[in-house]
Structure 1
Amino acid sequence: MTDESGEHGDAVGDGVVGDDASDEPDDGAPDEPDDHDAPDELDEEAPPSPEGEGPLTLEEFYRAVEREGRPVVTAGEVARRTDRSQAAVTEALAGLEREGSVRSVDVESDPVVWFPSQWGDLATRERAVLFPQRREVVVDAPTQYTRARMAQFAHLVDTTGDRESGTRGYLYRIRREDIWSAPFDSLSELIALMRSVLPRRSDPLEDWVADQWNRAHQFTLSTHEDGYTVLSAASENLMGNVARQKLDEEHLHAPISDTESWVRDGAEAAIKRILWEAGYPVVDERDLETGDPIDVDLHVDLRDYQREWVDAFVEKRAGVLVGPPGSGKTVAAMGVLEAVGGETLILVPGRELAVQWREELLTHTSLSDEQIGEYHGGVKQIRPVTIATYQTAGMDRHRSLFDSRRWGLIVYDEVHHIPSRVYRRSADLQTKHRLGLSATPVRESDDEEEIFTLIGPPIGTDWTKLFDAGYVQEPEVEIRYVPWRDDEAQNEYASADGRERHTIAATNPAKVDEVRYLLAQHDDAKALVFVDWLDQGRDISEALDVPFVNGETPHWERERLFERFREGDLRTLVVSRVADEGIDLPNAGLAIVASGLGGSRRQGAQRAGRTMRPAGSALVYVLATRGTTEEDFAQRQTRHLAEKGVLVRENDVS
């Protein structure tokens, strides 16, 4: 098993992790004792539990078996693990045996040993093992609740095991970036959540978390009463040995005091990036201009969680709304616009999304057509609310125009693009509030922390609340491993190498038959079939007699087909990457990913997210050619969904 960086990770299916020091992340944290000198943490005695009072329960017996790490236990071992007398445990076990919950057998080495009657109950129970020195947690068979909670302070590294039997294991790593970006107002709230989900407390781990939390609050950008920006440090040592060592005259104009420096105009974003890389995120408290005020009324009632998003953002003045498609991030952004009441710039990846934003603003707010401008392609309008593409806003000939405005709010839609070279230029635009929107703020290069550095911390990361409240339909995701159609295709794959192998596996002809089979099984569902290869898209389109939308499709034709799909005139569309993001295709109850498994985790989550809508069942099938690298790619693509609490099944196609 490998993690995203390509390094070998640990097997987690049985809750046991290998060499403690082999994959320690180099995260710049303070030195800790070497893991080779640490005792085996699996043999570490757990702290006394509140057991020992009242009759022994079956749940306590299960925990005792797990702690012993053996399939059978003696009454003495259960007594030690539950802090009870052996006589009391023996009597209780006899009662559980009469109920049929446990069984016993006489052996020569010990008079009686006990074991669960239903091994499946024990095998499929959630179990967590904490490795505090490596800051890793292994969770076997985690519930959706546990996965959603872990996602708020830890990074999902890998999964393994068989989901059908309920033995899927999850390996989490708690990184400094996860603590810096944790969506909590105080350290005590973060620690409380960690204690609620981790199997036991660890003072060294909590001390490290506290240190990282404090690191994220050591430097502050603020506005001086004379109008210029000031960088402040919590101590003279931090300013002298960190800020002034890492920054130069391009960033700092002059010192003001031992803990304050005068910042050069336009250097704020660079300062935040440099200090982040040095291990110190910067709190941005600048008092920026909001431009001319805008009186905007929202014409739709916000849901409770959307109101929580808006309130959290207004308090922080910067952040990224992280929620699945269909959860209403766009409407929540309009709620932010109403609350801020200043001139607003909305940045989008393409013209289609710009048109959709304009329509949504006219539908859901009191803004008039004259108050909304678009700035892209042949349209060049600057209005109180302006919608522009990232590419246009970053161009030198247009940038000065955008930078001269006193934006009260900049909305970064599909914000996961920001770390890329072209898009990140827009992050330097000055504004009082920065709001990012994304269902999947992850990138294959694992630089998603840059999103939170440049824009703001994540808001609304607990998807479980949305699923449980019924606001968003939780999808059912299944990876289907498809065999080769014949020996000739398999032999062609075996004799190829590199990129050619990937192409042959992705365009396996047997996938056409599997797509046809799945559509027949769900003939009443509106379906999207995703492909990355034009020839494959054309083959599926011809075999199913349905349209294929790709980059070569004229813009007007693309919009016409999407509209027919929305209206229900078209039940099935084959689409290339043009539908991965930024295109509103509501009520797609079925998504089939026929190829594209070499893409990123974000792409996989975006495609699965096309089925996350408020009503109806939602199904996602990911096709991978059996025995090829597509198997690993498929698991990587769905990992982010698993991290958010979405169940992912696996199935071999016969």
Structure 2
Amino acid sequence: MGPLIVQSDRTVLLELDHPDANAARQTIGGFAELERAPEHVHTYRITRMGLWNAAAAGVTADEIISALNTYAKFAVPDTVVRTITDAIDRYGRLDIIRDAEGRLVLTADDARLLTDVANHKRVAALLTEQVDQRTWIVQEWARGQLKQELLRIGWPAEDHAGYTDGDPYEIDLNEDDWHLRPYQQQAVDSFVAGGSGVVVLPCGAGKTIVGAGAMAALSRKTLILVTNTLAAHQWRDELLRRTLLTDEQIGEYSGEAKIIAPVTIATYQMLTARRSKKYTHLSLLDAENWGLIVYDEVHLLPAPIFKLTAELQARRRLGLTATLVREDGKESDVFSLIGPKRYEAPWRDIEAQGFISPADCVEVRVEFSEDEQARYAMLADAERYHATALAEAKLDTVSELLDEHADDQTLVIGQYLDQLELVAERTGLPLITGKTPTPERERLFAAFRTGEQRALIVSKVANFSVDLPDARVAIQISGAFGSRQEEAQRLGRIIRPNSDGSRSIFYSIVVADTVDQDYALSRQRFLSEQGYSYRIVDAEDLPVQIPA
């Protein structure tokens, strides 16, 4: 009697109290998405995107069905078996290749299948000439868009059309005092073998190092796209440390500099900047004969970049992320335009190896005052979440937790600037927001790293691409509504291994019986899928006992 109940609507219930729950969670995580994560039973859904990512990794339908049967409490419904078999069977029956004459063509293993997809209006517009019953010539520019359209009609194509090598450029790792960890090497090898795709690793597990390893393995001119200027500076510092590249060999293309070099780090903001409805910096994409394009934090890739990426299908593409969850639902565009998931290491596995810090997640429930509750009841739905951010009990609890962790490196993280300003006014701590100049941000982060500054208040600018290795405590006081990706990124700020080996603590302060509590449950889904659980405590029960 296993821990899974597989239902005919493709939902899968996981009983957390079962001794095989963790093994079952890891098994289904590759093809099912966590939808709800209450205390005792988690609800997953088997999705086509999850099944196609599994197929891209070489997993067969028989292996998936066998895994479900191994952990299922009851027989797996025939409808689910058929769904899995059909989805896996659809992957790779269409292929995009170069023919003997060098033309870009779409081929199929079955003439009827090719006729069916070619009759779809949006697909037909990308094809030019039928060569035979199983081959159509594709417009040269349409390689990326064709993959998107085929995915939308349920027929994901494999792309074996090859890549432009790009200009060779020697990039060697500087491994005098460090080496790629085994999982990092596996990630590099899986990416290089696959050609293009996404590597999923927890925050703090060395995604930048995987990027450097891929660059060294290919040794080609490389364009690296990052979220902001601070991230660009951190990539530069890491490349200078981990490789034999010199400062002159690494360019920065951002709001602060416009230097193109054999390895160039550019911000998404620069590529999406427009004037008179035209993208003004697209020349960067053709400035060098790039052999590799790296997309940092690919789960945050701005929607306009997908259109640009559709035109870069002849270049090798590496996406790096802690989670493939996108709140805008564009996971399918990442799959078709960047590539399938080539490697993923579960957070708990990396933690068990000692490469990221164990973390305890605590949801602290506070209450509105009577006056606040009365005002909240009168607000429109769109205004209610902001009102919970300003609850007096939240501010009191922040102060209490800061006192409790006075000797720990602590981040107070929130969404609303007026809330963060109130906390800064009450505590006297420095506040970092999007308006904080980059030099001041870097100064404060540097002071935090050295221990000169014990605590910082940060807005969403610190959600990603901020390297703070000694941060041990995070206090989340508001967020981007029910964003799962943000929750993962914020926990990621504090799970880099602590120098003293201590556990990290992630507090989320939530106003009980409000939309704040509803959003908190949604936010926690991804981390619950990774094996983290949230203890729920009332504010009056603080402090909580954290295991050594």
Which residue is equivalent to 1:613?
Answer: 496
Task: Name the count of aligned residue pairs.
Answer: 522
Question: Any residues of structure 2 matched to 1:344-359 within 5 Å, and which?
Answer: 344-359=222-237
Which residue is equivalent to 1:525?
Answer: 408
Task: State the shift of 1:266 in Å.
Answer: 1.7
Matched residues in 1 for 2:311 and 2:44: separation? Answer: 33
Matched residues in 2 for 1:572 and 1:275: separation? Answer: 50
Which residue is equivalent to 2:220?
Answer: 342
Q: Identity over aligned residues, as a percent?
A: 36
In structure 2, the CA distance between the partners of 1:519 and 1:144, relative to structure 1 (3 Å rule), is: farther
Task: State the shift of 1:208 in Å.
Answer: 2.6
Matched residues in 2 for 1:147 and 1:201: separation? Answer: 18
RMSD (Å), alpha carbons: 2.1
Does 2:377 align with 1:494?
yes
Which residue is equivalent to 1:623?
Answer: 509
Task: State the shift of 1:323 in Å.
Answer: 1.4
Structure 1 or 2, whichever has the larger Rg, is 1
Which residue is equivalent to 2:426?
Answer: 543
In structure 2, the CA distance between the partners of 1:589 and 1:292, relative to structure 1 (3 Å rule), is: same
Matched residues in 1 for 2:264 and 2:158: separation? Answer: 27
Kindly provide the CA deviation profile for residues 462-502 of structure 1, in whole angstroms up to 9, marking residues without a partner as x.
Answer: 33321211111232111111112x32222211222223322
Which residue is equivalent to 2:361?
Answer: 477
Contact 1:150 1:197 in 2 (8 A): no
In structure 2, the CA distance between the partners of 1:423 and 1:652, relative to structure 1 (3 Å rule), is: farther
In structure 2, the CA distance between the partners of 1:411 and 1:197, relative to structure 1 (3 Å rule), is: farther
Amino acid in structure 1 at the alignment position of 2:44? Y
Which residue is equivalent to 1:202?
Answer: 76
Which residue is equivalent to 1:17?
Answer: none
Give the gaps of 5 or more residues in structure 1: 1-62, 64-125
Q: Indicate which of 314, 319, 328 corresponds to 2:192.
A: 314
Which residue is equivalent to 2:476?
Answer: 593
In structure 2, the CA distance between the partners of 1:641 and 1:285, relative to structure 1 (3 Å rule), is: same
Q: Secondary structure of 2:513's match?
A: coil
Does 2:532 align with 1:646?
yes
Q: Secondary structure of 1:650's match?
A: strand
Matched residues in 2 for 1:641 and 1:140: separation? Answer: 17
In structure 2, the CA distance between the partners of 1:468 and 1:243, relative to structure 1 (3 Å rule), is: farther
Which residue is equivalent to 2:291?
Answer: 408
Kindly provide the CA deviation profile for residues 160-189 of structure 1, in whole angstroms up to 9, marking residues without a partner as x.
Answer: 2xx4xxxx2101110111101126323154
Which residue is equivalent to 2:518?
Answer: 632
Q: Secondary structure of 1:543's match?
A: helix
Q: Indicate which of 46, 58, 62 corresponds to 1:174.
A: 46
Task: State the shift of 1:317 in Å.
Answer: 1.1
Task: State the shift of 1:137 in Å.
Answer: 1.2
Q: Indicate which of 219, 223, 229 corresponds to 2:94.
A: 219
Does 2:399 align with 1:516?
yes
Q: Quick check: 591-600 or 564-573, which moved more?
A: 591-600
Task: Pick 1 or 2: higher relative contact order, CA cutoff 8 A, min separation 6.
Answer: 2
Contact 2:69 2:76 in 1 (8 A): no
Question: Any residues of structure 2 matched to 1:416-495 within 5 Å, and which?
Answer: 416-418=299-301, 420-422=303-305, 424-458=307-341, 459-484=343-368, 486-495=369-378
Contact 1:419 1:447 in 2 (8 A): no
Which residue is equivalent to 2:202?
Answer: 324
Matched residues in 1 for 2:25 and 2:384: separation? Answer: 35
Task: State the shift of 1:270 in Å.
Answer: 0.8
Task: State the shift of 1:221 in Å.
Answer: 1.4
Task: State the shift of 1:201 in Å.
Answer: 5.2
Task: State the shift of 1:244 in Å.
Answer: 4.1
Question: Any residues of structure 2 matched to 1:24-423 within 5 Å, and which?
Answer: 127-131=3-7, 133-141=8-16, 143-160=21-38, 163=39, 168-182=40-54, 184-187=57-60, 188-199=62-73, 202=76, 204=78, 205-247=80-122, 250-300=125-175, 301-394=179-272, 396-403=279-286, 405-418=288-301, 420-422=303-305
Task: State the shift of 1:250 in Å.
Answer: 4.4
In structure 2, the CA distance between the partners of 1:378 and 1:629, relative to structure 1 (3 Å rule), is: closer
Matched residues in 2 for 1:614 and 1:243: separation? Answer: 52
Task: State the shift of 1:242 in Å.
Answer: 0.9
Matched residues in 2 for 1:613 and 1:557: separation? Answer: 23
Matched residues in 1 for 2:298 and 2:408: separation? Answer: 31
Q: Secondary structure of 1:598's match?
A: coil
Give the gaps of 5 or more residues in structure 2: 274-278, 541-548
Matched residues in 1 for 2:201 and 2:421: separation? Answer: 33
In structure 2, the CA distance between the partners of 1:520 and 1:427, relative to structure 1 (3 Å rule), is: farther
Matched residues in 2 for 1:269 and 1:442: separation? Answer: 21
Q: Secondary structure of 2:86's match?
A: helix
Task: State the shift of 1:652 in Å.
Answer: 2.4
In structure 2, the CA distance between the partners of 1:373 and 1:196, relative to structure 1 (3 Å rule), is: farther
Kindly provide the CA deviation profile for residues 357-405 of structure 1, in whole angstroms up to 9, marking residues without a partner as x.
Answer: 1111111011222322222225223322111112323453332441474
Amino acid in structure 2 at the alignment position of 1:171? T
Matched residues in 2 for 1:539 and 1:584: separation? Answer: 26
Matched residues in 1 for 2:83 and 2:235: separation? Answer: 43
Task: State the shift of 1:148 in Å.
Answer: 2.7
| TM-score for the superposition, normalised by structure 2 | 0.90
Matched residues in 1 for 2:310 and 2:473: separation? Answer: 36
Q: Which runs of 4+ in 1 moved over 6 A?
A: none
Task: State the shift of 1:584 in Å.
Answer: 1.9
Kindly provide the CA deviation profile for residues 194-223 of structure 1, in whole angstroms up to 9, marking residues without a partner as x.
Answer: 444433553733343122112111111112
Task: State the shift of 1:249 in Å.
Answer: 6.0
Does 2:447 align with 1:564?
yes
Which residue is equivalent to 1:98?
Answer: none
In structure 2, the CA distance between the partners of 1:429 and 1:392, relative to structure 1 (3 Å rule), is: farther
In structure 2, the CA distance between the partners of 1:252 and 1:382, relative to structure 1 (3 Å rule), is: farther
Q: Quick check: 202-211 or 547-556, which moved more?
A: 202-211
Contact 2:365 2:512 in 1 (8 A): yes
Amino acid in structure 1 at the alignment position of 2:163? L
Q: Secondary structure of 1:320's match?
A: strand
In structure 2, the CA distance between the partners of 1:537 and 1:403, relative to structure 1 (3 Å rule), is: same
